[in-house]
Structure 1
């Protein structure tokens, strides 16, 4: 795979040129961007996948849903539907996509909508729901909408500052576009990241005057949830565990399980947002214990016996969570 990426370097140069021209046309106003009356917060990244956007959306919902009417707008990547869709009691993961469906299930009081056109989605939300705040999931590169506040996420072990354009690297947008972000969050950090290394990373990022750089790590919850019962990590130490993942980067989860003494008999790793076939599901049902992520669980729920998922949430270093909350509160005032 690495050799193929190196050979694809000429293609990455063409991709970089296309990205540059597109951003330039937005910068000079040839391509138009629209701002809306409803405050919008964009949660996005410059690279493909794996920075923790969905847990960050959930962090914001947990913080503000009590005091404000909030809507979440996503593209609904991987869904099997078209156009504008709003989550309801009868919505399926196929209609919404796995991540919007997950959010809708966890936050029933929040309007969750999907639309490939962010402009159309915001217009419909304003006319039907009139929320106090719209969270735009994975919309940093969608410049047809000017967000009031932008959060740029970058993974600790794959920071955009050291990355290159697709398909040689993972960048889907220019590094200089980081200047449009209000806050840059380095996610998936070691829990005890030293101040010295934090300063080194800030030096790499070179934030402009208005920007803050925050650091977060993933907290894995000890409770494992299933369709009809719950377990603790300690309960599966004696089981033959099969790990099923369809996410961008399962390495942090594998490392965490190792620290907890969980022996993974086999790891079945699929592409991000993978919809599982009948043959794959039959194989899962033949296993003693299936452990998966929450995003994968919503695509397997009710189809696999002995299926459990592990939840994650962002926790911040240096009181960064409070800094982020205050920034959003200021926007809403």
Structure 2
């Protein structure tokens, strides 16, 4: 590691130590708190996993008794905010807006940079909520969760990574010990038992808790304009952390990707970019496919051309456990529902 990485590591270890000995205040809440996060900078699939937990809790009878709280990365607003029908990705962030679009009838979706201030506000405004799911809150030590989920990407496992700036870790690998469970995300669907055991053996060097393996399940293509059918010739538009796997999936499904507009994560599209993409797609007589997170930003773009809308499709993704899904449910229920 570089000297900067070593310094950063020491600073984070000191910070964590101060929380461990409660020299820094740690707040506990009567409402059950589930924290979903990671050690790295991003791209581990937190939002799909938050959606997975929401969906499961709602199926278990927590409809209108569960809420989510995110920072709302990339939003133009500040402070605590509960999502409503007037909101957009600009006011609450793209990922919270995506969650709101799916779960607004069964869950409260909120954003707030300071979880310590946001959680009491959320409880005050919605006292009926029994569970709050925190998105990307693993490093928010000022809140003590009842159940902490640590995600690590199969393609960038935390035990092979280094702290910033040499690697992508926000803190030392030893930070994994705070988790109650570890989920290895984005695994190949055919990952074998021998390879799983090798990964588990490395993880238990840092945390002796249950380890589960999940993959990304791509759903059917969804049209922006109802009734439209997607063609095989497409323009791919992405603004996510790791777009290559998504592109590979489309190619494997038989799509001809004539051009890939690959933007940075949480990219805010400009009029010039929209015009360029629209013009190229029209010229090539190609449809436009994007991710669900990018789609919620695109459809909220002011005066999105009708030609763009008519060609625009997205593919939702779901979390799929490779095995032992019922065991994960049991641990979740024992820690939250039955606690």
Q: Place the TM-score, normalised by the shorter chain, in its bin.
A: over 0.9
| Alpha-carbon distance between aligned partners in 1 of 2:288 and 2:276, rounded to the nearest angstrom | 10
| Alpha-carbon distance between aligned partners in 1 of 2:185 and 2:161, rounded to the nearest angstrom | 16
Mapping for residues 1-333 of structure 1, pairs under 5 Å: 9-66=2-59, 67-68=61-62, 69-109=65-105, 110-130=107-127, 131-206=129-204, 211-221=209-219, 223-229=220-226, 235-237=230-232, 239=233, 241-286=234-279, 287=281, 288-301=286-299, 303=304, 304-305=308-309, 306-319=311-324, 321-330=325-334, 331-333=336-338
Q: Secondary structure at the match of 1:31?
A: coil
- Where structure 1 has 5 or more consecutive residues not aligned to the other structure, the ranges are 1-5
CA deviation after TM superposition for structure 1 residue 236, in Å: 2.3
CA deviation after TM superposition for structure 1 residue 134, in Å: 0.3
**Which moved further from structure 2: 27-36 or 76-85?**
27-36
Would the alpha carbon gap of residues 61 and 207 (structure 1) be closer, same or farther in structure 2, given more than 3 Å must change? Answer: farther
Report the counterpart of residue 3 of structure 1 in structure 2: none
| Alpha-carbon distance between aligned partners in 1 of 2:166 and 2:68, rounded to the nearest angstrom | 32
* Kept in 2: contact 1:182–1:210 (CA 8 A): no
| Alpha-carbon distance between aligned partners in 2 of 1:281 and 1:322, rounded to the nearest angstrom | 44
RMSD: 1.6
Q: Secondary structure at the match of 1:47?
A: coil
- Kindly provide the CA deviation profile for residues 204-241 of structure 1, in whole angstroms up to 9, marking residues without a partner as x: 111678610000000011x2112222666xx422x2x1
| Alpha-carbon distance between aligned partners in 2 of 1:177 and 1:209, rounded to the nearest angstrom | 9
Would the alpha carbon gap of residues 16 and 38 (structure 1) be closer, same or farther in structure 2, given more than 3 Å must change? Answer: same
CA deviation after TM superposition for structure 1 residue 173, in Å: 1.7
| Alpha-carbon distance between aligned partners in 1 of 2:41 and 2:145, rounded to the nearest angstrom | 20
| Alpha-carbon distance between aligned partners in 2 of 1:63 and 1:158, rounded to the nearest angstrom | 27
| Alpha-carbon distance between aligned partners in 1 of 2:166 and 2:26, rounded to the nearest angstrom | 29
How many residue pairs were aligned? 320
Q: Secondary structure at the match of 2:24?
A: coil
CA deviation after TM superposition for structure 1 residue 146, in Å: 0.6
* Kept in 1: contact 2:173–2:206 (CA 8 A): no
* Kept in 1: contact 2:174–2:206 (CA 8 A): no
CA deviation after TM superposition for structure 1 residue 27, in Å: 1.3
